[in-house]
Amino acid sequence: MNYIKEKTPPVREDRLKACNAFGGSCCELSRTGKKGCLNKTKRTFAQTQGCQLNLSMSILNTIRDSVVIIHGPIGCGGAGLSFGALTTQYHKLRDSNAKGYIWINTNLDEGDVINGGEQKLREAIIFADNEFRPSSIIIVNSCVPALIGDDIDGVVAGLQQQTAAKLVPVHCEGFKTKIMASAYDSAYHGILRNLVDKPEENGYLIEDELEVMKEKYRRSRNVNVLNVSSMSRADELELERLLKALELNVRFLPCFAHPDDFELATEAALNISICATHDDYFVKHLKEKYNIPYILHTIPIGIRNTGKWLLDIAGFFGETDRAKGLIEAETKALNKALEPFRNQLKGKRVLLSGGEIRILTTAELFQDIGFEVLGVRGYHYDEFADPLIDGLPGKENILFNVATGQPFEQANLLEELKPDLYVGHAGINGWAAKQGIPVFPIFVQSLNYMGYSGMYELTKRVAKVLKNTQFSKNLKNNIKLPYKAEWYGKNPFSYIDSSLAL
Ligand code: SF4
């Protein structure tokens, strides 16, 4: 894979043959997906569709000491209003002097659609550079300038010599893809082309031979852990604790990193992904360009997948025995701490929603603490889900709905399945809560979720949520969803047209 010479990355419908419309069992999904038959499925009615511009912002707005310019009408990137203050606080968690999240919109209007928006973009870049003196200015392209033919790369090339900040164009126009996760490739594409660069071999200027050896050893134990913006600082600390036990030096990228950190990324001995959906584009290009190996198999959620993740990493460094000892000690202590919760939670039923890798590993975690997993709703499906589906106990009877949003399908499913708990992201959790179902967030920046300590915290909080479910019952009694009674009598997947499957 090498798309870095191209100005824009391919979308995931083309690169990974990803699918975003399916309803059936996990086994059926995996079987037909492996044959490559699901790429063309679609909905004859769709209620919502995520925009990749907004998802790409989940990486881009975390990059410290930067200004993000959204080149588009004022509405594009407007979602930033809801997370701007929090994002600033998370910047400060990593660097107390950080300025926080700064963003500008070029506010294209009807006149610009006719005359072009390049001049507004030029002015915005100059303004951002003079006013904020950031290390990088990230230019996010939206649908309108892409459709009218604004040449944002040309504008950037013309201005780069005049600005102190590094300019990073990102092509993430919403209309190009229905697979929202294409956003990660767009963000990484801009980072790879403009921020990642191997520094000249200036690291071994030390004269003393022993010091040179020490430096070489240090670099041979450096790893990049590729974080995601929805994980917490507590998650990072837990993963760092585990990797330090293997004597590894950890650098977290790309979220909440400084633009200069990306140059140092090429000093790592190994790139460690915690989510293939998020990182495959980045790690494969770093392998291709700088020959840095990578680990991409699973996410460290729950006992089994945290163990797998650690063993993969330890195997690379020849530390398998040490990792096995660590896993055994951690698992023993955790199992003891989980005992009372397992008794309380045994037999409860759950439906999960989120990214394919997160939901499948979280499903295993819930099984481990005694839940019956009724089904999972993944934002999309691609090859990275297959090994996790194959290893999921009881997969024959677990339902898989591939849907980015589509709350009408979810409402129907919840009415039919009536789980004791719904686990999803904040936005969609509200819909489940209105149906009287207790909800729990699938990943949130204020909660430790990953590793062994994450499993304990998650279990403790889930047990607390289920102790008193009156709040959701009150919601249900006072709120009505907008669907007609007939809809609840229909197959929830009535609007998924599989006839276009290859
Ligand atoms: S779909 Fe296009 S117009 Fe809509 S928010 Fe996304 S980039 Fe902007």
Rounded-to-integer distance, Cα 238 and Cα 458, Å: 14
Final residue in a domain of this structure, among 297, 322, 347: 322
**What average pLDDT does the segment 104-113 reach?**
96
Q: In which domain, by residue range, is 214 found?
A: 209-322
Rounded-to-integer distance, Cα 136 and Cα 258, Å: 9
State the distance from the centre of ligand 1 to the C-alpha of 180, rounded, in angstroms.
12
Examine the domain organization and report whether 252 and 158 are in the same domain. no
Q: Which of 133, 121, 136, 139 is nearest to 56 (CA)?
A: 139
Beta bridge mates, 205: none
Final residue in a domain of this structure, among 296, 322, 348: 322
State the distance from the centre of ligand 1 to the C-alpha of 442, rounded, in angstroms.
26
- The structural domain count of the chain equals 2
Nearest CA to ligand 1 atom 1: 174
Does residue 189 lie within any of the structural domains? no
The pLDDT, as a whole number, for residue 83 is 76
Examine the domain organization and report whether 93 and 171 are in the same domain. yes
Please answer whether residues 230 and 445 qualify as being in contact, where contact means their C-beta atoms are separated by less than 8 angstroms: yes
- Residue owning tokens 């709040």: 471
Nearest CA to ligand 1 atom 8: 76
State the distance from the centre of ligand 1 to the C-alpha of 73, rounded, in angstroms.
9
State the distance from the centre of ligand 1 to the C-alpha of 184, rounded, in angstroms.
16
Does residue 413 lie within any of the structural domains? no
What values do phi and psi take at 238, rounded to 5? -65, -45
Rounded-to-integer distance, Cα 397 and Cα 375, Å: 8
Final residue in a domain of this structure, among 287, 322, 357: 322
The pLDDT, as a whole number, for residue 357 is 94
For the segment 349-377, what is each residue's pLDDT rounded down to a tens digit?
999 999 999 999 999 999 999 999 999 99
Q: What are the CA-CA distances from residue 88 to residues 94, 311, 344, 433 (Å)?
A: 10, 35, 38, 29
The pLDDT, as a whole number, for residue 203 is 53
Does residue 128 lie within any of the structural domains? yes
Examine the domain organization and report whether 128 and 219 are in the same domain. no
Check whether 321 has a pLDDT greater than 60: yes
- Residue owning tokens 């591939």: 402
State the distance from the centre of ligand 1 to the C-alpha of 49, rounded, in angstroms.
11
Does residue 338 lie within any of the structural domains? no
Nearest CA to ligand 1 atom 3: 143
Rounded-to-integer distance, Cα 257 and Cα 333, Å: 33
Check whether 325 has a pLDDT greater than 70: yes
What values do phi and psi take at 492, rounded to 5? -60, -20
Q: How confident is the model at residue 320 (pLDDT cuts 50, 70, 90)?
A: very high
Examine the domain organization and report whether 171 and 238 are in the same domain. no
Ligand 1 site-directed mutation target among 48, 53, 57, 147, most atoms within 8 Å of CB:
53
Helices (H), 260-319: 261-264, 276-290, 302-317
- Which residues contact residue 313 at a Cβ distance below 8 angstroms, ignoring those fewer than 6 apart? 223, 243, 246, 248, 270, 272, 295, 323
Examine the domain organization and report whether 59 and 172 are in the same domain. yes
Pocket of ligand 1 (CB under 6 A): 51, 53, 72, 76, 142-143, 173-175
Examine the domain organization and report whether 152 and 240 are in the same domain. no
The pLDDT, as a whole number, for residue 205 is 54
State the distance from the centre of ligand 1 to the C-alpha of 41, rounded, in angstroms.
23
**What average pLDDT does the segment 290-317 reach?**
95
The pLDDT, as a whole number, for residue 110 is 96
Ligand 1 site-directed mutation target among 173, 179, 186, 404, most atoms within 8 Å of CB:
173
Does residue 380 lie within any of the structural domains? no
Check whether 54 has a pLDDT greater than 60: yes
For the segment 207-247, what is each residue's pLDDT rounded down to a tens digit?
677 777 777 777 789 999 999 998 999 999 999 999 999 99
The pLDDT, as a whole number, for residue 415 is 96
Q: How confident is the model at residue 36 (pLDDT cuts 50, 70, 90)?
A: confident
Rounded-to-integer distance, Cα 163 and Cα 492, Å: 53
Examine the domain organization and report whether 235 and 127 are in the same domain. no
Does residue 395 lie within any of the structural domains? no
Please answer whether residues 450 and 231 qualify as being in contact, where contact means their C-beta atoms are separated by less than 8 angstroms: yes
Q: Which atom, in ligand 1's list, is nearest to the CA of 54?
A: 6
Looking at residue 166, which CATH number applies to its domain?
Answer: 3.40.50.1980
Examine the domain organization and report whether 70 and 159 are in the same domain. yes
Residue 298 token pair: 């699973």
Check whether 200 has a pLDDT greater than 70: no
Does residue 381 lie within any of the structural domains? no
- Residue owning tokens 């919109």: 105
Q: Which atom, in ligand 1's list, is nearest to the CA of 51?
A: 6
Examine the domain organization and report whether 237 and 147 are in the same domain. no
State the distance from the centre of ligand 1 to the C-alpha of 10, rounded, in angstroms.
18
**Summary mean pLDDT of the chain:** 93
Does residue 241 lie within any of the structural domains? yes
